[in-house]
Amino acid sequence: MKKAYITGATGAIGMALVGELLKNGISTTVFLRKDSGRNDHVKDSFSRELARGLLRIEYVSLEELSGYALSRNTQDMQTYASQDLLTKAAGGADTAVFYHLGWSGTFGEQRNDADMQQKNVEYTLDAVRLAKRLGCVHFIGVGSQAEYGRFEGRLTPDTRTLPENEYGRAKLAAGIRSAELCRELGLRHSWVRVLSVYGPFDGRNTMIMSVIRGLLSGERVALTKGEQIWNYLYSGDAARALFMLGASSLSVQSRTYCLAGETEDGLREYILRLCRAAGADESLLGFGEIPYGSAQVMYLTADISRLWQDVGFVPATTFDDGIKKTIEWVRTYGIPLYGY
């Protein structure tokens, strides 16, 4: 892998992925929505790489992917095309990879907005076509555990899929249809179903960030009983898995993966460990103050052996270490004003 293109680069996984790619000397282009309040994340965190030209920003929203580079006849596009021919002739060793993390409506009521979620499926297909135009030979899309619905047991790539909301249905459809389109266009396809990831640059309304925000402010945090069996993965590890997948040279045309941590624990225990890492009083934790919803997921963990078998990925960051890094980041930079 010599070049990488990324949508959805400003969240926890996206920022960690940009950092991982740049650390490994990969020429990286990120597609950002021009009016996003998150864009400063990229500019501030990677100012040196931007100045050196190793990182490039293109202000292209998901809605604009379909038209980007469609009729460009620049030297860049000619270079992409010639490199594509050369890398294919060499067996695809030095290739461009497209990472599609961008998605609209990931939180709250928007997850059940059928029209919005269906548009995301089309944006995913637009991203595949753009990947082809840019000379990429591998498309990596980020899916979700929501594609499975509720399931009592460790999720695998082959577990039955019964999504219970429009977000999950759209992610499932995007994975299937992007695989079909990649096959038609001659691209390798990887679909990575991500479970619970936390880390710097996460949205303010995720469970982890909500608890950190409350505890650092000395506020009481209302919670469920915390009996759910859960699995957490640090964003840096998630990024490393995606990088390893992009850098791999598997001959399989299409592959689905689960991306999660290696171990699971009760959600209550995770929150108590977070509280101790923050040096906060456990009396601020209001366990049982929020009743379980009718569609509450009580078991969320996965078997990641396929990632290990294919690219050798093993998570390296314990929850205790990862949550300390996340809390320190919040103390340094503050909770973001936006959220999802």
Q: Distance between CA 33 and CA 329 in Å, rounded?
A: 24
What confidence tier does 92 reach under pLDDT thresholds 50, 70, 90?
very low
Yes or no: say if 125 and 181 are a contact pair by the CB < 8 Å rule. yes
Residue with tokens 């990969």: 26
pLDDT exceeds cutoff 60 at 183: yes
pLDDT exceeds cutoff 90 at 105: no
> What are the φ and ψ backbone dihedral angles of 297, each rounded to 5 degrees?
-80, 125
Higher local confidence (pLDDT), 192 or 74: 192
Pairing assessment for the beta strands 265-266 and 229-230 based on DSSP bridges: antiparallel
pLDDT of 94: 56
What mean pLDDT do residues 50-59 have? 97
Percent of the chain with pLDDT over 70: 91
Q: Distance between CA 317 and CA 239 in Å, rounded?
A: 12
What mean pLDDT do residues 199-209 have? 93
What mean pLDDT do residues 3-10 have? 97
pLDDT of 295: 86
Show the tokens assigned to 253.
Answer: 């045309």
By mean pLDDT, which of 105-114, 196-205, 257-266 is the weakest? 105-114
pLDDT exceeds cutoff 70 at 84: no
The per-residue pLDDT for range 239-286, each reduced to its tens digit, is 999 999 999 988 889 999 999 999 999 999 999 999 999 999 999 999
What mean pLDDT do residues 167-171 have? 98
All structural domains of the chain with their residue ranges: 3-201+232-261+303-318
pLDDT exceeds cutoff 80 at 28: yes
What are the angstrom distances between the C-alpha of 227 and each of 132, 222, 294?
46, 14, 15
- Count the neighbouring beta carbons within 10 Å of the beta carbon of residue 11: 24
CA 29 to chain centre: 16
pLDDT exceeds cutoff 70 at 140: yes
The per-residue pLDDT for range 286-323, each reduced to its tens digit, is 999 999 998 899 999 999 999 999 999 999 999 999 99
pLDDT of 310: 97
Show the tokens assigned to 49.
Answer: 């790489």
Pairing assessment for the beta strands 221-222 and 196-198 based on DSSP bridges: unpaired
What mean pLDDT do residues 114-121 have? 96
pLDDT of 226: 97
- Mean residue pLDDT of the chain comes to 92
Q: Nearest CA to 119 among 162, 170, 176, 164? A: 170
Q: Nearest CA to 15 among 23, 119, 95, 232? A: 23
pLDDT of 45: 96
Yes or no: say if 49 and 55 are a contact pair by the CB < 8 Å rule. yes
* Secondary structure letter of residue 291 according to DSSP: P
> What are the φ and ψ backbone dihedral angles of 5, each rounded to 5 degrees?
-125, 140
DSSP β-bridge partners for residue 56: 29
pLDDT of 74: 45
pLDDT exceeds cutoff 80 at 82: no
Q: Distance between CA 191 and CA 143 in Å, rounded?
A: 6
Q: Nearest CA to 195 among 305, 302, 321? A: 302
CATH 3.30.930.10, domain 3-201+232-261+303-318, yes or no: no
Report the interhelical angle of 207-216 vs 267-278 (nearest 10°). Answer: 40
pLDDT of 70: 64
DSSP β-bridge partners for residue 141: 100, 191
